[in-house]
Amino acid sequence: MNPLLILCIPLLLGQTGPAPARRQDPLARDPYVQNVTPTALSILWETHGPETCKIRLRSLVTADSWEQASGPGEHHEVRFEGLVPSSRYEYTVTTGSGPVTDVVRTAPGPMEPFTFLVYGDTRHGHGIHRQLVRVLEFDQASFVLHTGDFVDDGLKKSNWYRFFTISNPLMRRVPLYPTVGNHENAFERGLELYRRFFAVPDDGPQPEVVYAFTWGNSRFFVLNANKPFVGAPQTAWLRTQLKEAAANPQIRHLFVSVHHSPYTSGPHGPQQELLDSGLVDDMRRYGVDMLFAGHDHMYERGRVDGLNYAITAGGGAPIYYIKHNHPYSLVTEPTYNYARVVVQGDLIEFSAHRMDGSLLDYVHLRRQKPARDMPPRIEVVREYRKEAPMVPATPPPTPPPFSSMRPDPVSPGNDGFPWLFTGLLAIAAGLAGLGAWLGHRRRRR
Ligand SMILES: [Fe+2]
Ligand SMILES: [Fe+2]
């Protein structure tokens, strides 16, 4: 065999790389909290084989406690209802592998301020994702919104197990609200696992994928950018939802999350169908405070005809470059990032941060209470200017340096490895080797 071809074999084998080390943890998915309301919450977990498990919830404020059994089965999802708003509860999940305990908090009522975090596009960037989870975990926010592309392949259970292992330090205490990305929705079949692993309200036009939830004085709407918008059920649904929420005196802020942004400076470009559907105009009409998106792996914030948008898609997937220079785009940075939103009455303090928590951007917005039958107005109180940067009024806590944080139970494996690039390189090297060998044979004849 030609020596060149022999040289290529390790490269070809290298495409797949060494298998990630097996977790020592006995559960396929450790317990995590989902679908939290002021009076209810769900705890989910998965055992390696069919098991009957026990879960106990105990109020840390009163003497109340509840116990439920789950199973026999591998996937477990238990909901507790009749709880008290903004109260702490301790849960203990007991499986054949022993008990797991943590503390969660119910959602607040409409008068209470709260903080939430936004990040997205984690995919195979496990090392980055793990570091980001530690920063987010340190913040102790009320919940997390993910803008989509959790994993490389939504059909592969192993991808999801990795995601849940890395994000468990955060998700075991704080609910994560998912936005479906193109990587979850491979040929629609990926949604089976997505629906099983996330528990969110299921009364939207595409149950557990297109949905809405309320937190404090804010209403959140999550869309599916893999599905059509023009004349589609999710468009009609959101239109009605926005109208109802705008008329509700207890709702002071509206947020939308969709994986593909209608405005972007990144290489993927805007989601034209969403613009064509007229839904973005409705967001303006009903006074959506901010639209969150992912997909273009970078950070961006802008404003188009009064509608604020932010792309936070730097959770681990390879970072893109800034392709366009749109006048509506106010701040862009191709970097790993997350956003943080403090909601206090009519005011929202939005800030964006790099991996180490350093400030990248901020804007403070106030939603003007409209007079009857008048459209709401989102006033910019102050915002980041490159020439005069200012510190936000409520900065996030500074996370400790990564080196001082506790060790991670997951093997580093092949974190953030550029698989596609390596695979193509290996195939090219293989073809070059084959060509050289055939040429060599022809010359010998
Ligand atoms: Fe992505
Ligand atoms: Fe995407």
CA of 225 to the centre of ligand 2 (A): 10
Helix, strand or coil for residue 334? coil
In whole angstroms, give the CA distance from residue 3 to residue 13: 16
- Which contiguous run of DSSP H or E holds residue 214? strand 211-215
Q: Assess whether 275 and 317 both reside in one domain.
A: yes
Q: What is the pLDDT of residue 340?
A: 96
Closest by Cα among 388, 376, 414 to 251 = 376
CA of 77 to the centre of ligand 1 (A): 28
Closest by Cα among 49, 28, 39 to 89 = 39
Domain boundary among 72, 106, 140: 106
Backbone angles phi, psi at 360, to 5 degrees: -115, -30
Cα distances (angstroms) measured from residue 252 to each of 55, 85, 365: 36, 19, 12
CA of 267 to the centre of ligand 2 (A): 12
Q: Assess whether 296 and 230 both reside in one domain.
A: yes
**β-bridge partners, 313:** none
CA of 88 to the centre of ligand 1 (A): 35
Other C-beta atoms closer than 10 Å to the C-beta of 325 total 8
Judge whether 23 lies within some domain. Answer: no
Judge whether 241 lies within some domain. Answer: yes
Judge whether 17 lies within some domain. Answer: no
CA of 235 to the centre of ligand 2 (A): 20
Place of tokens 């997505």: 194
CA of 123 to the centre of ligand 2 (A): 9
CA of 394 to the centre of ligand 2 (A): 31
Question: What is the distance between the terminal CA atoms of the chain, rounded to a whole angstrom?
Answer: 16
Per-position pLDDT tens, the chain of length 445: 444 444 444 334 333 334 443 434 568 999 999 999 999 999 999 999 999 999 999 999 999 999 999 999 999 999 999 999 999 999 999 998 899 999 999 999 999 999 999 999 999 999 999 999 999 998 889 999 999 999 999 999 999 999 999 999 999 999 999 999 999 976 677 799 999 999 999 989 999 999 999 999 999 999 999 999 999 999 999 999 999 999 898 999 999 999 999 999 999 999 999 999 999 999 999 999 999 999 999 999 999 999 999 999 999 999 998 888 899 999 999 999 999 999 999 999 999 999 988 899 999 999 987 676 777 889 999 998 766 555 555 666 666 554 444 444 333 333 333 444 445 666 777 777 777 777 777 766 6
Q: Assess whether 125 and 194 both reside in one domain.
A: yes
pTM: 0.84
- Which contiguous run of DSSP H or E holds residue 235? helix 233-247
CA of 79 to the centre of ligand 2 (A): 31
Q: Assess whether 303 and 280 both reside in one domain.
A: yes
CA of 296 to the centre of ligand 1 (A): 6
**Residue 87: CATH number of its domain:** 2.60.40.10
Question: CA 181 from chain center: how many Å?
Answer: 9
Closest by Cα among 345, 243, 363 to 303 = 363
Overall domain count for the chain = 3
Domain boundary among 52, 79, 106: 106
Domain boundary among 106, 136, 162: 106
Judge whether 402 lies within some domain. Answer: no
Backbone angles phi, psi at 220, to 5 degrees: -115, 135
Q: Assess whether 306 and 279 both reside in one domain.
A: yes
Q: Helix/strand/coil (H, E, C) string of 36-97?
A: CCCCCEEEEEEEEEEEEEEEEEEECCCCCEEEEEEEEEEEEEEEECCCCCCCEEEEEEEECC
CA of 268 to the centre of ligand 2 (A): 9
CA of 62 to the centre of ligand 2 (A): 45
Q: Which domain holds residue 427?
A: 413-445
Cα distances (angstroms) measured from residue 404 to each of 79, 104, 399, 413, 435: 36, 25, 10, 21, 52
Q: Assess whether 192 and 159 both reside in one domain.
A: yes
Q: Assess whether 373 and 419 both reside in one domain.
A: no
Q: Assess whether 95 and 221 both reside in one domain.
A: no
CA of 294 to the centre of ligand 1 (A): 7
Q: Assess whether 217 and 337 both reside in one domain.
A: yes
Question: CA 298 from chain center: how many Å?
Answer: 14
CB neighbour list of residue 357: distance below 8 Å, 6 or more residues apart: 135, 396, 398, 399
Q: Assess whether 243 and 351 both reside in one domain.
A: yes
CA of 313 to the centre of ligand 1 (A): 7
Q: What is the pLDDT of residue 408?
A: 40
E-state strands within 372-416: 377-383
CA of 313 to the centre of ligand 2 (A): 9
CA of 314 to the centre of ligand 2 (A): 11
Note whether 173 and 103 are within 8 A (CB). Answer: yes
Q: Closest ligand to 260 CA?
A: 2
Q: Assess whether 316 and 181 both reside in one domain.
A: yes
Note whether 242 and 251 are within 8 A (CB). Answer: no
Judge whether 15 lies within some domain. Answer: no
**Residue 214: CATH number of its domain:** 3.60.21.10
Dihedral Cα 35, 36, 38, 41, nearest 10 deg:
90
- Which contiguous run of DSSP H or E holds residue 219? strand 218-222
CA of 147 to the centre of ligand 1 (A): 9
Other C-beta atoms closer than 10 Å to the C-beta of 13 total 10
CA of 337 to the centre of ligand 1 (A): 14
Pairing of strands 41-59, 329-333: unpaired
Q: Assess whether 93 and 177 both reside in one domain.
A: no
